[in-house]
Structure 1
Amino acid sequence: MDTWWLLAIPVIFGLGWIARGFDLKELLSESARLPRSYFNGLNFLLNEQPDRAIEAFIEVVKLDPETIELHFALGNLFRRRGEMERAIRLHRNLLERADLPVEFRDQALFALAQDYLRAGLLDRAESAFKSLADTPHADQAAGFLAEVYQLQSEWQLSIDALQRSGADTPAKSRTIAHLYCELAEAAIEHKDLKAARERLAQARAADAALLRIVQIEISIAAAEQAWARIVELADQTLAEHPEFAPQVVEAYIDAAQHVAFSAPGQRPLDTQLRSWFDASPNDALAAVIIKRLEAAGSMSAALEFARVALQRLPRLSQAHALLRLRAAMQGDGDEDLAHITQMMNGMLRSQKRHECRNCGFRAQRFFWQCPGCKQWDTLPYAASPVGP
């Protein structure tokens, strides 16, 4: 058996050790050339002291203007901390350097475009991102450009930009579907139902599972007074997604008043509403059911349902509904109860009860796009619990 290769092991080990020695010498040589402020900055970052880290890195940049990577790191720190003027000034200074290599020039322009976007300078951001179309940053720039157009409500331009931005993902498809829905809603406002249907078909092609499509279909049917179609759409959708009831229940009730509930298998309206509430309890359905029972003069039934609703939804809104009904049934005999009810009503009006799952923004009503972080589909369909 050949054993010559065993003799090579010490040689290979020795060569590796020598190479390691050269690498170590080079590392030590490079470290010796770095200013002490650089290591101070790293130490401050590790100790979660970003303010002091920034000041240390600024000192390094002053001592050694050739540290281009550190310029970018410092600019990102400024942007993350909201110091947009400093970030913009730093990246513009980089771009003005005649000796800046092309790849770093593109990187500096990309960073500057993000600075402009974060600072709300949308025209400058748009121009900068467009300038990156033929660079290695083109895909990312197109994604940011789509954000710029969304902030300007330029839905079609945003779609076009997104379709140029890298690989398709479920999140990207959902965003495109929402943008087509925005165009469909605009067409409905202008009473152009043909255009609305075309946009809705494009939304469905992008993401057929988006429930907003059903909501817009109901809006088109309402414009055409196709009441049976609204009832059909709501029944089909809420059978699978009862949590979506707050977004369609008003349209459903309005349509149901024009449709006879005598077809085989069709439930009476109030029975259907109660079924949806039992499947997915929420404030919107509870309020509708109580309102209908009151309108029918069934105050005892309304009070009994309010008790059930409070058990299923132990929150301020349902406690207020129960106390309001009791006060109404007792008349003016209990001033304390009436005062407490009024006080709770004021508290409910001031509460913001739809909370974004992405950024925590809280709103009094539902939005498809969060007003805080501008992400789509991050607010719950039903109002979140409100404490006392």
Structure 2
Amino acid sequence: MEFDFTWVLLGFPIAFTLGWLASRLDLRQLRIENRQAPKAYFKGLNFLLNEQQDQAIDAFIEAVQNDPDTSELHFALGNLFRRRGEYERAVRVHEHLMSRGDLTQPERDRAQHALALDFLKAGLLDRAETALRKLEGTSFEEEARLALLSIYERSRDWANATEIAARLGSSSHGSFSTRQAHYLCEQASAAAAAGDTAKALNTLREAAAMAPAATRPLIDLAKLQNQLGQPQDALQTLLKLKEVAPQGLPLAAGLLANLAQSSGQQQTAQDLLKASYAQSPSIDVIEAIVKLEKDPAAARQWYVQHLERHTSLVAASKWIAGEKLEDEHHHALVQRALDQATKPLMRYRCAACGFEATQHFWHCPGCQAWDSYPTRRIEEL
């Protein structure tokens, strides 16, 4: 039986026609899907630009449903949830991304970083730490280390904070020696509170060697030496401020005057304080000079000299406190009013967030910044 090639010839056009129709149907479906996804995406973007986050989230959810394989839409949706404080939903979005097997390694690292931020914003510090540790060796490594440093500072885990700061210092983020010195001072404070003064002294000396231009290690070391009954050593420690950190003298002026009196070196301390005041006038330095002055009239004259150079309500109040008024029986009332008025002026203010406090902080309790408090009071800024 011979094969009839007529059917083959007739089948080619039919097969071609069916293939063409199939391709047209696929293209049409693809165009419909592509039109639907960008439409929802751009709608969400428009809502986002108009700060209509609820509508933006609905639009992005629609876009993700139309095209569930698009990772960028998942990232956008997760970030929106995080910004709105819906951390649980943000975590679900980013965990869903992490579970996908078709993600490239950069996308997976990005999802891991986003997940760590979700945990961090939600206050789940242990889970955030675990997620951030997984970013070692990725393009998000430096950002992860900075976030870890913030976590360890907030939890007062100074040992781990020191480790991370050392790694950051060895990279392109500059020197972290001053911050590491703060960590050592915190550890020394804990050791002293626990009764281990020897460890505290060694730790403070290590901090002073690590950051020679830092003020805190020397002040903390002098305070501890004074508590241990070593006023002479404490005074010598504070005298180093003149060379390494003269800007910190106002914070140590009162302690310096007390140590000078107990060790009989008033003149040495006075010379240092007067030189500091001449370079940069400060109420705290004046108070220390007045304390060391033997003549009460000469002591009060320092307030007058300060008023000649600066309009200072604090100095005026201090001067009036030692003067005789015509109506002396009203003196207490006037002084009380002045003291009340000067209280806000004697506070310290964080230069980073504006948080005010009656005491000087090395670590701002408001914004967690280090060394953000100037060494001078609000009136002197």
For 2:184, the equivalent position in structure 1 comes to 180
C-alpha separation between the residues in 2 aligned to 1:134 and 1:240? 38
C-alpha separation between the residues in 1 aligned to 2:210 and 2:122? 31
Render the CA deviation track for 1:324-359: whole Å, top value 9, x for unaligned: 334xx2275363x64343223223335673222223
C-alpha separation between the residues in 2 aligned to 1:155 and 1:102? 36
* Partner SS, residue 322 of structure 2: helix
Contact 1:95/1:105, CA 8 A, preserved across alignment: no
Contact 2:205/2:221, CA 8 A, preserved across alignment: no
Distance 1:148 1:55, change over 3 A: same
For 1:99, the equivalent position in structure 2 comes to 100
Using the TM superposition, give the Cα deviation of residue 367 of structure 1 relative to its aligned residue in structure 2, in angstroms. Answer: 0.9
Mapped pair 1:153 → 2:150: no
Within a 5 Å distance, the mapping from 1:323-334 to structure 2 comes to: 323-326=320-323, 329-330=324-325, 333=328
Using the TM superposition, give the Cα deviation of residue 140 of structure 1 relative to its aligned residue in structure 2, in angstroms. Answer: 3.0
For 1:72, the equivalent position in structure 2 comes to 75
C-alpha separation between the residues in 1 aligned to 2:80 and 2:327? 62
Using the TM superposition, give the Cα deviation of residue 167 of structure 1 relative to its aligned residue in structure 2, in angstroms. Answer: 0.9
Using the TM superposition, give the Cα deviation of residue 381 of structure 1 relative to its aligned residue in structure 2, in angstroms. Answer: 1.6
Distance 1:37 1:149, change over 3 A: same
Contact 2:79/2:90, CA 8 A, preserved across alignment: no
Using the TM superposition, give the Cα deviation of residue 202 of structure 1 relative to its aligned residue in structure 2, in angstroms. Answer: 4.1
Contact 1:366/1:379, CA 8 A, preserved across alignment: yes
For 1:379, the equivalent position in structure 2 comes to 373
Unmatched runs of 5 consecutive residues or more in structure 1: 1-28
Contact 1:243/1:382, CA 8 A, preserved across alignment: no
C-alpha separation between the residues in 2 aligned to 1:122 and 1:188? 28
C-alpha separation between the residues in 1 aligned to 2:335 and 2:45? 58
Using the TM superposition, give the Cα deviation of residue 31 of structure 1 relative to its aligned residue in structure 2, in angstroms. Answer: 9.3
* Partner SS, residue 360 of structure 1: coil
For 1:235, the equivalent position in structure 2 comes to 239
Using the TM superposition, give the Cα deviation of residue 163 of structure 1 relative to its aligned residue in structure 2, in angstroms. Answer: 3.1
For 1:274, the equivalent position in structure 2 comes to 274
Mapped pair 1:289 → 2:293: no
Please, what TM-score do these two structures have when normalized by structure 1?
0.74
Distance 1:105 1:247, change over 3 A: same
Q: Which of 367, 377, 383 matches 2:361?
A: 367
Using the TM superposition, give the Cα deviation of residue 107 of structure 1 relative to its aligned residue in structure 2, in angstroms. Answer: 2.5
C-alpha separation between the residues in 1 aligned to 2:154 and 2:184? 15
C-alpha separation between the residues in 2 aligned to 1:340 and 1:42? 63
Contact 1:184/1:195, CA 8 A, preserved across alignment: yes
Distance 1:268 1:132, change over 3 A: closer
Unmatched runs of 5 consecutive residues or more in structure 2: 1-31
**What amino acid is aligned across from residue 273 of structure 1 in structure 2?**
L
Render the CA deviation track for 1:268-299: whole Å, top value 9, x for unaligned: 54444333222221121223334555xx561x
C-alpha separation between the residues in 2 aligned to 1:333 and 1:267? 35
Using the TM superposition, give the Cα deviation of residue 178 of structure 1 relative to its aligned residue in structure 2, in angstroms. Answer: 1.5
Using the TM superposition, give the Cα deviation of residue 176 of structure 1 relative to its aligned residue in structure 2, in angstroms. Answer: 1.8
For 1:192, the equivalent position in structure 2 comes to 196
Within a 5 Å distance, the mapping from 1:251-266 to structure 2 comes to: 251-261=255-265
Distance 1:348 1:134, change over 3 A: same
Distance 1:94 1:237, change over 3 A: closer
C-alpha separation between the residues in 1 aligned to 2:272 and 2:380? 26
For 1:14, the equivalent position in structure 2 comes to none
For 2:133, the equivalent position in structure 1 comes to 130
Render the CA deviation track for 1:287-331: whole Å, top value 9, x for unaligned: 3334555xx561x334422122234442332233233334xx227
C-alpha separation between the residues in 2 aligned to 1:31 and 1:198? 68
For 2:254, the equivalent position in structure 1 comes to 250
Render the CA deviation track for 1:224-270: whole Å, top value 9, x for unaligned: 43333333332232255433112222322222123233xxxx93544
**What amino acid is aligned across from residue 162 of structure 1 in structure 2?**
A
Distance 1:386 1:215, change over 3 A: closer
For 1:21, the equivalent position in structure 2 comes to none
For 1:321, the equivalent position in structure 2 comes to 318
Distance 1:175 1:41, change over 3 A: farther
C-alpha separation between the residues in 2 aligned to 1:205 and 1:338? 49
Q: Which of 288, 297, 305 matches 2:302?
A: 305
Render the CA deviation track for 1:105-132: whole Å, top value 9, x for unaligned: 4423322322332333323323332344
C-alpha separation between the residues in 2 aligned to 1:360 and 1:339? 32
Using the TM superposition, give the Cα deviation of residue 155 of structure 1 relative to its aligned residue in structure 2, in angstroms. Answer: 0.6
C-alpha separation between the residues in 1 aligned to 2:76 and 2:362? 35
Distance 1:338 1:197, change over 3 A: closer
Using the TM superposition, give the Cα deviation of residue 368 of structure 1 relative to its aligned residue in structure 2, in angstroms. Answer: 0.9
Contact 2:205/2:217, CA 8 A, preserved across alignment: no
For 2:59, the equivalent position in structure 1 comes to 59
C-alpha separation between the residues in 1 aligned to 2:317 and 2:79? 49
Please, what TM-score do these two structures have when normalized by structure 2?
0.75
* Partner SS, residue 252 of structure 2: helix
Number of matched residues? 344
Using the TM superposition, give the Cα deviation of residue 360 of structure 1 relative to its aligned residue in structure 2, in angstroms. Answer: 2.6
